[in-house]
């Protein structure tokens, strides 16, 4: 594979958009995140790699307050997520405040989680109308723009069941974008798709990245990670083992655990043809 010729852009100056410091999470006494430190800068694309069970999904869910954390802190644009700090103590925010914080982050999951009884357009306008109280006509016009952006300008009236997995996933991306999120989180957005549908979703994600959207992407798509990520974070066993530009972490990993993971991934890819 040819190496990129352009100098990598170092966006890591100024305040990070996301700062996670020493994040701990356990489920029933099972330590799943054991002190995760990750910064994501505005406009950066960070790909999160790691073996099954390493805590990638849990970490994304913590960023988005779908899980409470047992230790550490997560900030978005300098604002503490989920808690308020008063006199050195943390106080959990109200559900309403947490929902408001959550609406600042778009999330796309492995399984297309569209409402099955709503059309593509209705799925997309749900958040803007219900949460942001946008007038329906305005939300619909924006939905149409977003559908066009993901290559589905003529499918607004289709129900999820009438769309392919790749199309549903693109609607899910449009739905997340409709909230004008500060950050997009992707959790293996292509791993449930038939191979021939993966490319169309990755293309949309690539365009978002090129447009400057800040993204954290859990993926096993190594070509995407190599070409699109500004930085790779490799997790194993609930810790960050190493991080750096793709050319380093994928091209020349320092840690044996990273090498083992990449070897297995390549073997799996070869076996899958």
Query: SS3 of 15, please?
Result: coil
| Interaction of residue 57 with Mg ion, rule CB under 5 A | yes
150: which residues sit within 8 A by CB, 6+ positions away? 170, 171, 173, 174, 204
Q: What are phi and psi of 31, to 5 degrees?
A: -70, 115
Binding region for Mg ion (CB under 5 A) out of 55-63, 170-178, 243-251, 262-270: 55-63
Site for ligand ATP in 68-97 (CB under 6 A): none
CA distance 209 to 40: 14
| The one among 7, 13, 52, 195 contacting ligand ATP by CB under 6 A | 52
Q: Which is nearer to ligand ATP, 33 or 229 (CB)?
A: 33
Residues in contact with ligand ATP, shown as a per-residue x/- string from 16 to 45 under the rule CB under 6 A = -----------x----x-------------
| Interaction of residue 123 with Mg ion, rule CB under 5 A | no
Q: Which is nearer to Mg ion, 158 or 192 (CB)?
A: 192
Q: Which is nearer to ligand ATP, 125 or 218 (CB)?
A: 218
Q: Is 245 exposed, middle or buried (0-12, 13-18, 19+ CB in 10 A)?
A: middle
> At which residue do the structure tokens 């410091």 appear?
21
Q: Which is nearer to Mg ion, 57 or 64 (CB)?
A: 57
Site for ligand ATP in 125-184 (CB under 6 A): none
49 in Cβ contact with 41 (< 8 Å): no
| Interaction of residue 212 with ligand ATP, rule CB under 6 A | no
Q: Helices (DSSP H) in the chain: which residue ranges? A: 56-63, 95-102, 120-130, 136-149, 165-177, 195-210, 222-228, 246-249, 256-272
Residues in contact with Mg ion by CB under 5 A are 57
Residues in contact with ligand ATP by CB under 6 A are 27, 32, 50, 52-58
């Amino acid at each position: 594979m040819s190496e990129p010729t352009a100098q990598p852009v170092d966006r890591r100056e100024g305040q990070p958009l996301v700062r996670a410091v020493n994040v701990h999470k356990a489920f029933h006494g099972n330590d799943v995140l054991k002190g995760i430190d990750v910064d994501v800068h505005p406009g950066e694309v960070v790909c999160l790699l790691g073996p099954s069970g390493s805590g990638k999904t849990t970490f994304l869910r913590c960023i988005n307050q779908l899980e409470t954390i047992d230790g550490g802190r997560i900030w978005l644009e300098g604002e503490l997520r989920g808690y308020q700090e008063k006199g050195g103590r943390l106080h959990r925010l109200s559900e309403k405040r947490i929902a408001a914080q959550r609406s600042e982050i778009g999330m796309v999951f492995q399984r297309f989680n569209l409402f099955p009884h709503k059309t593509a357009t209705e799925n997309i306008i749900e958040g803007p109308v219900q949460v942001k109280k946008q007038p329906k006509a305005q939300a619909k016009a924006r939905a149409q723009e977003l559908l066009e952006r993901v290559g589905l300008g003529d499918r607004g009236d289709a129900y999820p069941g009438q769309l392919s997995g790749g199309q549903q996933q693109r609607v899910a991306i449009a739905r997340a974008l409709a909230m004008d999120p500060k950050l997009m989180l992707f959790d293996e957005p292509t791993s449930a798709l038939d191979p021939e549908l993966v490319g169309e979703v990755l293309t949309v994600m690539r365009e978002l990245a090129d447009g400057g959207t800040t993204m954290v992407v859990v993926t096993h798509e190594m070509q995407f990670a190599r070409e699109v990520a500004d930085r790779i974070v490799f997790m194993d066993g609930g810790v960050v083992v190493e991080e750096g530009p793709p050319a380093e972490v994928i091209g020349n990993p320092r840690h044996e655990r990273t090498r083992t993971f990449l070897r297995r991934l390549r073997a799996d890819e070869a076996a899958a043809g």
